[in-house]
Structure 1
Amino acid sequence: MRLARVLSLLAAILTAATLVAPAAVAEPPLRLPDYVTDNAGALSGGQLANVQQAVDTLYRDRHVRLWVVYVASFAPKTAVGWTDATRQLSDLGDQDAILAIATEQRSYAFLVPSAAASGATSAQVDNLRVNKVEPALHSSDWAGAAIAAANGLAGLGTSSGRSGGFSLVPLLIIVAVILVGVAALLLWSRRRRNKRHEAEVAAAKRVDPTDPDALAAVPLDALDELSRSIVVDVDNAVRTSSNELALAEDEFGQQQADRFNRAVDNAKATLQQAFTVRQQLDDAIPETPAQRRDLLTRVVVAAARANRDLDAQTEAFHELRDLVINAPDRLDVLTQKLVDISARIDPAQTTLTQLHSEFADTALASVARNVAAAKERLDFADQSISRARELVAKPVAGEQNELVDCVRATESALQQAGSMLDAVDSAATDIRRAVAALPSAIADTQQGINQAVAQLTQGGLSDTDELTAARDAAVKAVAAAQTDGTADPLGAFTELTQADADLDRLLASVADERDTAERLGRSFDQALFTAQSRVRSVSDYIDTRRGSIGPEARTRLNEAVRQLEAAQAKQKSNVTEAIARANGASMLAAQAQQLANNDVQSAQRTYMNHYGRVGGSSNMGAVIGGIILGNILSGGMRGGFGGGGGGGWTSSTYGGSSGGGGDMFGGGGRF
């Protein structure tokens, strides 16, 4: 009995000991208080610091948060289920990875969102888990497992997305350096090429331009630029000589001026050859380098010979017009002319205002600014007269040249102002005449349309398709003239006469030849009138703004004149071709007007950028009009002038272009 009671007591003690002995207690999922949570007591103080440092480094380098938690057991949940529940309770996001370790249960879970892996694949994360984390856990290296996880995640970032972002910066820097280097090289190359070109042009201008053999050594690009500048300079010289020669004829009579007239006419004929060749260079048909060199050489030689013919008469002409003698009487005459032309300003402005109220801007392009430009010329003439009177009142040795310049500049400015006001009056007359005649032109074209319809209705024509197309084009031209003809009557005439001529050409083979010939004659008259009007207005425009208009506009105008002359020559032998030539002249004149407008606008901007308001708008008008020598065609100002008190500039006069090689080209300005 006693033994039984002892055994029972021992059994009770063992049972109680078993109930109170330590055991692996399961811990439910929790909200993690910090990046490293050691509820299992697995880490020493140093180990905890090492793990914390690894976690902090990962966040600093990649902004990925690794949460590490140590517990004794996950039971009854699975490792992944417990870890996922803890993630949710801890509000972990896409940049939060978690490593959960049950030290006594010896199980773990390592969950890494794809965003935290920075582009790494699932296989790469598994490789980190199996080959880095698990071996440390297998050795009970609790701290080493967490550090391996942190370092591994950092390595994933470096080898995948993170490395791409990091290496892209130096790559971009290298690319940028290369691009800057290439840009600098291109800029240097372009500047070197420009300097070489400038040197070649300067050398070309020192060559005798009348010698084809000497020009053969000039590079092609330099020869092209030389041809462009020389036709402008010589055309300006011819225009200036013609204007001053007209004054000489009024003063001394036709007989005294005959030899100078012959020189100007010869120069015009020779220069026309240069413009004809220049037009061939500017057309849409390409030339071989050899052909282009030959044409450019012909342009330069022809223009240079025209210039030489004028220069040969310059000294004799200046002797004839000794402007120093009787200067006071000349200035009195010029003053009266200034008053007379000034009195025309207001009526011309009224006329122009009325025209603008009736017609489209395209119909008035050649005269739209003529009144304002005439005022500029008159202001300049007034300043020149005042300065000339000062020089006459106080004659100083060596200032005769300035006095001559003042007289010539005044004459040229007054001539241009009068020409501009004449152009306004002519435009009013021409446009109103065109408006009055437009119904007749429409009726003529409509008659052709009716005849074409009748012929097409009868059928049996060999050229039905061509006649149908011509009829349709004529119908379109008539409709446009009826709708917009009063806004731009000259333009409407061009389209109508072209359509009418095409119809007449086709109807000539199927209709009464005499009736068709009469209608062709009327079409020719209309086409000729339109062409003459347009050519005249553009020529006046270039003449009064010759200091700012480049070779392209002059070339188109010269070709328009040639086509106009050809139209008149063909009137008797081939009226259809004559109409086509006249219409071609109108179109070329319109192109010349647009190019000239662009040149003048560009010159005005260049002048204002260079001089601002210094010298006044009258000086700008004198430069643009070619009264004061200078060149603003190439974006800069070559030559110069003083303002206010006069002096410091030279007016243009009869004779060839006076500029040397440097003055013909180059320039600069202030920015």
Structure 2
Amino acid sequence: MPWLRRAGLLVLGSAAMLVGFAPAASATDPLTLTSEVTDEAGALSADQLAQVQSALDTLAADTEYQLYVVLLPDFSGEEPLTWVDSTATSSGLGSQDFVLAFSTQAPYQYALAPESSGSITSSEVEAVAASVEDDLRAAKTSGDWATAVVTAATGLDTAATSTATSTGTSSGMSFGTLLLIGFAVIAVIALVATARGRRKAGRDPALAGPTGAAQIVDPFADVPTAELDRRSSAALVRLDDALRGSEQELGFAQAQFGEDSTRQFAQVLTQGKSRVTEAFRLRQTLDDDVPDTEPQVRATAAQILALCTQTAQELDDQKAAFDQLRSVQDRVGDALDAHERSVATQRARVEPARATLTTLAARFPATSLTSVAANADQADRLLTDVGSTIGQGRAAVAAGDKATAVGFAKAAEGALAQVDRLLDAIEAAGDELATIGPRLQAAVASISADLADATRLAPQDVDVQARSQEARAAITVAQDAVAGSGDPLAALSRITAAEAAIDGTLAPWRERDEQHGRTRALVDQTLGRVASAVRATNDYIETRRGAVGPQARTRLAEADRLARQADARKAGEPDAALADAQHAEQLVGEAQQLAQLDVERDEQNRRGPGGFGGQGGGSNLGGMVLGGLLLGEILGGGHGGGFGGGWGGGGGDFGGGGGGFGDGGFGGGF
């Protein structure tokens, strides 16, 4: 049952505490997963989170498997599969659990593990991983990380349902079998913890096999090492020659176009020299007397090629810019001719524009036309200036100074564009004035919502409050224009600019607010689990008051207090509330185990040695009965389903094949 497996995450964590299991922290600490989706990168919107959760719910409902998803900014240099393995261990995940983790920033990497589980084969998981990698690669530009998660969930669902077998765990097992399975669960947890600790301590990521560690995809995987080494040497020589030639090219360009036009080329050249120096240093490490392993040779050669490729591309971009500039100079005469034709075209629009202004003045008050009233005269003056500029450009061409002629041509082009905007504004004024009232009212409503956000999200932010003052002033101007005492066109332009400004300063605050919303959702999820566990543990203690001591009661009371505190803090302090809720979940787990141990000790004292089950084994069996009752109450399944499908089934072999969370996986760069 899906609800049984999900609640099992909490119970398994508590069971690990019972046998003294605690994962050691590494350079990048693994997470202890408290929900199916952990978005450390803040990359999922509320809608995307709902989409992802729906896919995970479907997988859990359709199959015996569960997928946990982790979004990270990066893996901080740790191999993704190693990180996933550590996280699965610290979270107490089992053989029917999968983990998909990926980074949303460079270097882009991911891992999907384990490489197989039950009826889902390694080749099926590999196919799912390949589809996920395609979606992740697309998400680098689209930002749609949710699609990759949905692909993983649906892929695993399809693989599981297409190869599902008819075997399963009977819900009608005998009471004695239930006891033995419960004992096997606790014993195997201890063995898994010990084995994983030894395996983790002895693992060298650099020596891991192809399914033991995810690595960034090698773009030269099909190139023999000797050929890769040769290519890097040849590329370095070609780039060194290109840089030497580029120094001469820079001198020519500075003489032809001036230092202002070539400043960026000079910067690129300086950066290129620095990269070539580093590439030659790397080359020396391959040519010295110190032997290099084949992986070292390949890595160094690939780094040299990357440095050369980046620098060569930047030099090519600069060359293309110079070619375009030379092309402009060659065509400057044609450009001046075209501008002269544009002057004639625009001048023909000036008188009709004046006539339009006269018509508008008869329909609208003068204040409504303030922003366009002088446009026709200004356009006329600009056209006269453009004619003079074109004449100066032609004189420069005749003198052989094409660079100066290009400057005049660009000045004329800019002025003509301004003329076009001035005359367009007159032609559009009639239609705009006819609808300006409703548009201004809509703009006021929109920017008023921004002001409400500014007050709610950033009342102390100086920039936000400054933009808020501008917005309020723009609202006043707009309201005056609607009332007939101002220029509505100018008011609309001002309020539009003010809204763009306040939106820009509010963007990070709104993003933070959205992140807080996701955190509040996590708080609610965690508190829901805590509430169920607190009720079940409280009922357990209530019915066994004579046996349960103060430690379990203290932890239960503190868990309840922290849960209430988290609920009170989540609105204003969501991060602190989440920490409280997670601490409460930890404490209620401890309370469960301590209460169970107290009852076991009380039963043993009352029975005496061998009092139940014979040969001194009665205390263990009696403890497992009470433990099964407690776990059954927490999970809501009672005796009949408490261990029926969540912890491995098939004879109580937790994790299957001698382990909990499966080995191996697929991943790499994308």
Asked whether the two chains share a fold, i.e. TM above 0.5, the reply is: no
| TM-score relative to the length of structure 2 | 0.28
Please identify the structure whose Cα radius of gyration is greater.
Answer: 1
